[in-house]
Amino acid sequence: MPAYVVRRLLVSVLILLGVSFITFVLLYVLPADPVRQIAGRSATAETVENIRRELGLDRPFIVQYGRYLLGLVQGDLGRSYLQKTEVAELIASRLPATLLLMLGAILAELALGLTLGILAALRRGTMLDQTLMMASFVTVSAPQFVVGLLLLYVFAVKLGWFPIGGYGTFAHLVLPALTLGILGSGWYSRMMRSSMIEVLRADFIRTARAKGLTRARVILVHALPNAVLPVIAMIGIDIGIFMGGIVVVESVFGWPGIGQLAWQAIQRVDIPIIMGVTLVSALAIILGNLLADLVAPFIDPRIKLK
Amino acid sequence: MKKLLVSTALMLSLALPALAQDYSPDPNAKPGGSIIVTYKDDVATLDPAIGYDWQNWSMIKSLFDGLMDYVPGTTTLRPGLAESHDVSADGLVYTFKLRPGVKFHNGRELTAEDVKYSLDRVTNPATQSPGAGFFASIAGFENAGDGGLSGVEVVDPQTVRITLTRPDATFLHVMALNFSFVVPKEVVEAEGADFGKKPVGTGAFKLTEWTLGQRLVFEKNPDYWVAGVPYLDSFTVEVGQEPVVALLRLQNGEVDLPGDGIPPAKFQEVMADPAQAERVVQGGQLHTGYVTMNVTQPPFDKVEVRRAVNMAINKDRVVQIINGRAVPANQPLPPSMPGYTQDYAGYAYDVEGAKKLLADAGYPDGFETELFVMNTDPNPRIAQAIQQDLAAIGIKAAIQSLAQANVIEAGGAGTAPMIWSGGMAWIADFPDPSNFYGPILGCAGAAEGGWNWSKYCNEALDAKAVEADSMFDPAKSGDRLKLWSDIYMGVMEDAPWAPVFNEERYTMRSERMGGEDALYVDPVSIPVNYDYVWVKE
């Protein structure tokens, strides 16, 4: 097990290196000049060249990338081209908000997804089952921008239950977490349904029923713990899915996380920020997957880590 | 809704600052209160040498001051940190007398050394200021670096002398530009690159809180050198707020000013509600939206073709697409800019005439080309309307809808035959006709990477521009504006652009906000003049 973790971490470093290289190449070949974004419209040709030289962007690609890596291994993500602030500081100031949003989203998707999945499994083949499964299709496919604005309009503007965007209290968290959670709940309800159906067919459930246990007891004590474990193991993978979603959701709700930071940086070709956010996101996804893999053997002893 | 007619006031903008009528504050204005302002994008920096955004432009004006200033809500120059100035007879030496007793937010008194330090700093390549080029007429600019500008001298602690290499009629405007604002050396050196996050100036407000990505709090500077200003005790800027969400919050009474204005998608809904429409403020802005045509490549190397494009575009219909939030344009300058040619008719919408011109140029069946456009609403829709208009005269233009940075890149590189300027269009840095020429129509801007996307270079007009900008004597300002008017008429003769419209700004304020409308659509303190707005109750 420790050897497995060490090996996985080493591979993770290689993956991060690969991500940094690919992102750097993509930003390098992008037909948009970061210097021009900094220099603005009134800059003379000399000003543009001065800025290019000051930032070292006149150097060959390999030198630029080498410098970036050199900083990276020392924990230096560089300074934003436009804001001049340390990228590490920008990310650190926004990471707590993103983590909080993810936590909220995971709780929301589990609460929604598991409940609906169990209901559908127990009422398999009925109108309720079909309606729920249809709904899961819709939520998985619905654009988050639309879902977010819809929730905002109904629950914040019309009903006044929640604040209209922003950050700070639990009430601020509900709608953005729900927007992300609704997307994930579609997956979870489907997985929970099939997992539950499978378990309900198992011999030990028949035995439990034959013993004369109540239906509620059979479902809650015998079936549910067995059915829910494989589903829970998926949470680690969710982090990757959410990384895409937060960009949109954070923009709609004015949530000061790294998704919003990334989006604004992309608009302005602020390369150090784009690199920093990409690497931090990649790290989150790697750790999430690692976590999912490490938890798996505890849930299902048939899985062995090698 | 009240419509502002500022053009007459603008015509005075070149009058002697000493003679300029100063601001008479609203008799009902009272001090106190705090407001909330929202923006979508984060505030990048509050360093006056660096900041060049929609969001930070007027925040920087509230934190810092320059030697010159503008009468609030207008484009009329007035004295700022310099209480007076005089110009040598040849127009090359400006002597500024500083206002005594002005203090930075850290309590230290401002001196002539600070003015020199600030101008040295903004022109030093190491500062990476996007505005360095504005100071090119100051002696020593060519060798600007750690040694500073030889043309800026400290005569005594209250006097600065600036020597130019050529007369520059726009120089006083440059001394009112954010990039020239005065910063305290000891703070800049202590903070280094973080000065933009911890700004210290002489302005009406000081920054007391900046939570990255969330909010900035500006508090009243009680020692501000303009008596009675600012009115507000503080203003809080909340960033990361989508314009649609900001409007909802305004309607809910949570926000006082939506910094990004009324989102296009909500415009009709707001205007249809009299209670809301009453709080909408409309103002002209020094903006022109245009289609550039690359004159260095066929078919746009033929002036007939470019004129045909001018005649083919149905500008009224384009204005309809943006819910009438603009007026059709017929020349590069916006109507509220001094030097605008009132009696010019422009190229009338004339499909048959355009076809005939195309045929004369050797394209009786039209041709295929590309129209580049920035990919945010409403620009692709505007490009489609232009595409249809061009199709009517036989020009088949394929639309290239790209991110802003990519369009700018293509324009600078000269690889875009046509560009619709929306989202990237020219908004004046300072209210002077010369600001619409050099970078976007002059030969200097036509260089690789410049903003003159037509790559248009008319040396005769360039010479006239130099002549106009050397007419520094305020007594000759009428002649100078006439010359600028002639230059832009010359441009229209060559037709490197098809000017399409001049955007009007529409913003909104909460019920409790007071102060004249002009402060909310201030042509210089863009978008809002925080120093002079006030709260009613």
* Confidence grade of residue B289 (pLDDT, cut at 50, 70, 90): very high
* Confidence grade of residue A288 (pLDDT, cut at 50, 70, 90): confident
User: Which residue in chain B has the smallest CA separation from A52?
Assistant: B128
Whichever domain contains A131, its CATH number is: 1.10.3720.10
Within a domain: B242 = no
The answer on A229 and A270 residing in a single domain is yes
Please say if the pLDDT value at position B496 is more than 80.
Answer: yes
Please say if the pLDDT value at position B19 is more than 70.
Answer: no
The answer on B500 and B371 residing in a single domain is yes
Predicted local distance difference test score (pLDDT) of residue A227: 85
Which chain A residues have a beta carbon less than 8 Å from that of B133?
A: 42-44, 46-47
The answer on B184 and B295 residing in a single domain is no
Predicted local distance difference test score (pLDDT) of residue B185: 96
Q: Which domain holds residue B377?
A: 287-504
Q: Mean pLDDT across the stretch A268-277?
A: 92
Nearest C-alpha of chain B: how many angstroms from A93? 7
Q: Helices (H), strands (E): how many in chain B?
A: 16, 22
The answer on A40 and A119 residing in a single domain is no
Q: Give me the count of residues in chain B.
A: 537
Within a domain: A86 = no
Shortest CA distance to B214 belongs to which of A96, A179, A139? A96
pLDDT tens digits, B389-435: 999 999 999 999 998 888 988 998 999 999 999 988 778 888 899 99
* Strands of B34-38's sheet in order across: B205-211, B215-220, B234-238, B34-38, B257-258
| CB-CB neighbours of B94 under 10 Å | 24
Please say if the pLDDT value at position A30 is more than 70.
Answer: yes
Q: What is the DSSP string of B130-185?
A: TTGGGGTTBTTGGG-STT--TTEEEEETTEEEEEBSS--TTHHHHTTSGGG----H
Predicted local distance difference test score (pLDDT) of residue A297: 78
Please say if the pLDDT value at position B10 is more than 70.
Answer: no
The answer to whether residue B243 neighbours chain A at the CB level (below 8 Å) is no
Please say if the pLDDT value at position B192 is more than 50.
Answer: yes
* Confidence grade of residue B21 (pLDDT, cut at 50, 70, 90): low
In angstroms, how far apart are the furthest CA atoms of chain B?
72
Mutate which: B47, B245, B252, B288, vs A, most A CBs within 10 A: B245
Cα separation, B53 vs B46, whole angstroms = 10
Predicted local distance difference test score (pLDDT) of residue B5: 39
The number of folded domains in chain A is 2
The answer on A101 and A54 residing in a single domain is no
The answer on A201 and A272 residing in a single domain is yes
The answer on A271 and A132 residing in a single domain is yes
How many CA atoms lie within 13 Å of B336's alpha carbon, on the beta-carbon side? 29
Predicted local distance difference test score (pLDDT) of residue A19: 94
Within a domain: B474 = yes
User: Which residue in chain A has the smallest CA separation from B252?
Assistant: A157
The number of folded domains in chain B is 2
Amino acid at B395: I
The answer on A112 and A38 residing in a single domain is no
Percent of chain B with pLDDT over 70: 96
Mutate which: A37, A38, A44, vs B, most B CBs within 10 A: A44
Predicted local distance difference test score (pLDDT) of residue B11: 37
The answer on A136 and A32 residing in a single domain is no
Cα separation, A180 vs B472, whole angstroms = 61
Predicted local distance difference test score (pLDDT) of residue B100: 95
- Average pLDDT over chain A, rounded to whole? 87
Predicted local distance difference test score (pLDDT) of residue A306: 62
Whichever domain contains B329, its CATH number is: 3.10.105.10
- Average pLDDT over chain B, rounded to whole? 91
Within a domain: A13 = yes
The answer on B292 and B148 residing in a single domain is no
pLDDT tens digits, A106-122: 999 999 999 999 889 88
Cα separation, A42 vs B173, whole angstroms = 15
Q: Which of residues 197-226 of B touch A (CB under 8 A)?
A: 197, 211-214
Please say if the pLDDT value at position A88 is more than 70.
Answer: yes
Cα separation, B454 vs B290, whole angstroms = 11
pTM above 0.95, yes or no: no
Within a domain: A205 = yes
Nearest C-alpha of chain B: how many angstroms from A40? 6
Cα separation, A236 vs A295, whole angstroms = 9
Within a domain: B270 = no
Cα separation, B515 vs B25, whole angstroms = 9
Residue with tokens 């994008």: B41
The answer on B493 and B370 residing in a single domain is yes
**Higher-confidence residue: A226 or B139?**
B139
Predicted local distance difference test score (pLDDT) of residue B14: 38
Task: Provide the β-strand partners of residue B326.
Answer: B503
Please say if the pLDDT value at position B4 is more than 50.
Answer: no
User: Which residue in chain A has the smallest CA separation from B247?
Assistant: A164
Which chain A residues have a beta carbon less than 8 Å from that of B47?
A: 84
Shortest CA distance to B421 belongs to which of B386, B396, B449? B386
Q: What residues contact A221, with CB distance under 8 A and at least 6 apart?
A: none
Last residue of a domain, one of B165, B199, B233: B199
The answer on A274 and A160 residing in a single domain is yes
Q: Mean pLDDT across the stretch B318-337?
A: 93
The answer on A147 and A288 residing in a single domain is yes
Predicted local distance difference test score (pLDDT) of residue A213: 87
Within a domain: A56 = yes
Q: Residue A93, SS3?
A: helix
pLDDT tens digits, A43-69: 777 788 888 888 889 999 999 999 999
Please say if the pLDDT value at position B6 is more than 60.
Answer: no
* Confidence grade of residue A167 (pLDDT, cut at 50, 70, 90): confident
- Give the range among A135-149, B65-79, B155-169 with minimum mean pLDDT: A135-149
Q: Find out whether B308 and B393 touch, Cβ atoms under 8 Å.
A: yes
Q: What was the ipTM of the complex prediction? A: 0.79
The answer on B452 and B349 residing in a single domain is yes
Last residue of a domain, one of B199, B226, B259: B199
Q: Find out whether B508 and B492 touch, Cβ atoms under 8 Å.
A: no
* Confidence grade of residue B461 (pLDDT, cut at 50, 70, 90): very high
Cα separation, B266 vs B148, whole angstroms = 50
Within a domain: A81 = no
Cα separation, B208 vs B448, whole angstroms = 43
The answer on B195 and B53 residing in a single domain is yes
The answer on B323 and B178 residing in a single domain is no
* Confidence grade of residue B166 (pLDDT, cut at 50, 70, 90): very high
The answer on B293 and B195 residing in a single domain is no
Predicted local distance difference test score (pLDDT) of residue B237: 96
User: Which residue in chain B has the smallest CA separation from A40?
Assistant: B130
The answer to whether residue B405 neighbours chain A at the CB level (below 8 Å) is yes
Please say if the pLDDT value at position B94 is more than 60.
Answer: yes
Cα separation, B136 vs A156, whole angstroms = 53
**Higher-confidence residue: A267 or B303?**
B303
Alpha helices, DSSP H, located in B217-284: 243-251, 267-272, 274-277
The answer on A226 and A294 residing in a single domain is yes
Within a domain: B298 = yes
Predicted local distance difference test score (pLDDT) of residue B16: 41
The answer to whether residue B370 neighbours chain A at the CB level (below 8 Å) is no
Q: Which of B240, B244, B447 sits opposite A260 (nearest CB)?
A: B240
The answer on B310 and B177 residing in a single domain is no
Residue with tokens 């959410």: A242
Which chain B residues have a beta carbon less than 8 Å from that of A149?
A: 244
Whichever domain contains B131, its CATH number is: 3.90.76.10
CB pairs under 8 A between A and B: 150
Q: Mean pLDDT across the stretch B328-349?
A: 94
* Confidence grade of residue B12 (pLDDT, cut at 50, 70, 90): very low
Shortest CA distance to B412 belongs to which of B382, B439, B378? B439
Q: Which domain holds residue A35?
A: 2-73
pLDDT tens digits, B196-253: 999 999 999 999 999 988 999 999 999 999 989 999 999 999 998 888 889 999 998 9
Q: Which of A43, A93, A260 sits opposite B133 (nearest CB)?
A: A43
Q: Mean pLDDT across the stretch B375-382?
A: 90
Within a domain: A88 = no
Shortest CA distance to B410 belongs to which of B361, B372, B462? B372
The answer on B462 and B356 residing in a single domain is yes
| CB-CB neighbours of A81 under 10 Å | 23
- Strand B426-427, strand B418-420: pairing: unpaired
**Higher-confidence residue: A115 or B25?**
A115
